Chains A and B, each alone.
Chain A
Amino acid sequence: MAGAAHIVEERRRVPKRVRAARIALILVAVGFLGLLLIAPLAMILIQALEKGFGVFVGSFADPDTKAAIKLTLLTAAIVVPVNTVFGICAAWAIAKFEFKGKSLLITLIDLPFAISPVIAGLVFVLLFGAHGWFGAWLQERDISIIFALPGIIIATLLVTFPYVARELIPLMQQQGSDEEEAAITLGAGAWTTFLRVTLPKIRWALLYGIILCNARAMGEFGAVSVVSGHIRGLTTTMPLHVEILYNEYDFVGAFAVASLLALLAILTLVIKTFVEWQSARRTA
Chain B
Amino acid sequence: MSRFRQPSILPGFGLTLGFTTFFLSAIVLIPLAALIIKGSSPSLAELKEILLDPRAIASYRLSFGAALLAAVVNAIFGFIVAWTLVRYEFPGRRLVDALIDLPFALPTAVSGIALTAVFAPNGWLGLKLASFGVQVAYTWIGVVVALILIGLPFVVRSVQPALVEVQRDLEDAAETLGASPWQIFRRIILPAVLPAVLTGFTLAFARGIGEYGSVVFISGNLPMKTEITPLLIVIKLEQFEYQAAAALGLAMLVMSFIMLFAINLVQAWGRRRHVAAGR
Chain A interface (Cβ within 8 Å of chain B)? 1-3, 5-9, 18, 21-22, 25-26, 28-30, 32-33, 35-41, 43-44, 47, 86, 89-90, 92-94, 96-100, 105, 107-109, 111-112, 114-119, 122-127, 129, 131-133, 154, 157-158, 161, 177, 180-181, 184-185, 190, 193-194, 212, 215, 218-222, 225-226, 238-240, 242-243, 246, 254-255, 258, 261-262, 264-266, 268-270, 272-273
Contacts and interface: CB of A to CB of B under 8 A. Distances in A.
A118 B234 contact: yes
Using C-beta atoms within 8 Å of the partner chain, give the interface range for chain B.
35 or more
Contacts of B173: none
A246 B160 contact: no
Given A26-B88, A92-B16, A100-B5, 16 more contacts: A6-B164, A7-B168, A8-B89, A44-B117, A93-B17, A96-B10, A99-B5, A114-B260, A117-B212, A118-B234, A122-B249, A126-B34, A131-B240, A215-B105, A243-B109, A246-B217
Contacts of A40: 111, 114-115, 117-118, 149
Nearest to B236: A122
Nearest to B87: A9
B102 interface: yes
B110 A105 contact: no
B43 interface: no
Contacts of B118: 39-40, 43
A1 B85 CA distance: 13
Given A36-B149, A117-B210, A265-B102, A177 B161 contact: no
A114 B23 CA distance: 18
A221 B210 CA distance: 13
Given A33-B99, A119-B233, A1 B157 contact: yes
A161 B10 contact: no
B183 interface: no
Instruction: Pick from B4, B23, B85, B105 the residue with the most CB of A within 10 Å.
Output: B105
Interface of B: 4-6, 8-13, 15-17, 19-21, 23-24, 27-32, 34-35, 38, 77, 80-90, 94, 96-111, 113-115, 117-118, 123-125, 145, 148-149, 152, 157, 160-161, 164, 168, 181, 206, 209-213, 217, 230-231, 233-234, 237, 240, 242, 245-246, 249, 252-253, 256-257, 259-260
A118 B89 CA distance: 41
Contacts of B86: 2, 6-7
Instruction: Pick from B16, B85, B89, B161 the residue with the most CB of A within 10 Å.
Output: B16
A261 B260 contact: no
B237 to A, nearest CB: 6
Given A43-B114, A181-B9, A190-B11, A6 B85 contact: yes
A243 B83 CA distance: 37
Contacts of A97: 5-6, 8, 10, 13, 17
A100 B84 CA distance: 43
Given A9-B87, A108-B29, A118 B210 contact: yes
B99 A37 contact: yes
Contact of B164 (A5, A93, A272): A5
